[in-house]
């Protein structure tokens, strides 16, 4: 009787991934309209400025990290004009005159929900215009 030996070979492969920090998940959330100085358009800011009108219109978005803390404030210039008490309609700016501004940090609140954007980090990013529009 011939006994056949079955020779099966097994190969084992181990993949080892080193532990590294994962990328941050950032989220854009809408914020209030701001003026040229970075202050939110409101009666509270007008009082602090002794009722001098607020000039300019910027759409603002807060960028939050994975735990919900504000990292950046992204602003895009969309209008010009003044805001005082009463209904005044700002005029829109041309597409090529729009400015994208990124400020590092969180809002400095002067009231419960009214604040001023953090100090300027980078300014005049015309090349990022299309990218930032995704946040708006």
DSSP state letter for 124 = -
DSSP state letter for 127 = G
The answer to whether position 7 is within a domain reads: no
pLDDT at 106: 86
The answer to whether position 100 is within a domain reads: yes
Give residues with Cβ within 8 angstroms of 3, minimum separation 6. none
Tokens of 109: 């609140």
The answer to whether position 118 is within a domain reads: yes
Parent domain of 104? 27-133
What pLDDT, in 10s, does the model give residues 59-80? 899 999 888 888 889 988 888 8
- Phi (first) and psi of residue 73, to 5 degrees: -120, 120
The answer to whether position 9 is within a domain reads: no
The answer to whether position 66 is within a domain reads: yes
| Number of domains into which the chain is organized | 1
With beta carbons less than 8 A apart as the criterion, state whether 42 and 33 touch. no
Mean pLDDT (the chain) is: 77
């Amino acid at each position: 009787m011939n006994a056949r030996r079955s020779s099966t070979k097994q190969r084992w492969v181990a993949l080892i991934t080193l532990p590294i920090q994962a990328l941050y998940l950032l989220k854009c959330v809408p914020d209030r309209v701001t003026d040229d100085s970075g202050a939110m358009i409101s009666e509270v800011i007008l009082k602090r400025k002794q009722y001098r009108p607020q000039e300019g219109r910027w759409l603002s978005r807060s960028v939050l990290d994975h735990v919900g803390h504000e990292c950046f404030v992204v602003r895009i210039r969309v209008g010009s004009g003044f805001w005082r008490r009463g209904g005044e309609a700002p005029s829109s700016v041309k597409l090529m005159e729009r400015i994208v501004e990124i400020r590092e940090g969180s809002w400095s609140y002067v009231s419960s929900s009214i604040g001023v954007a953090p100090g300027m980090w980078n300014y005049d990013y015309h090349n990022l215009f299309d990218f930032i529009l995704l946040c708006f």
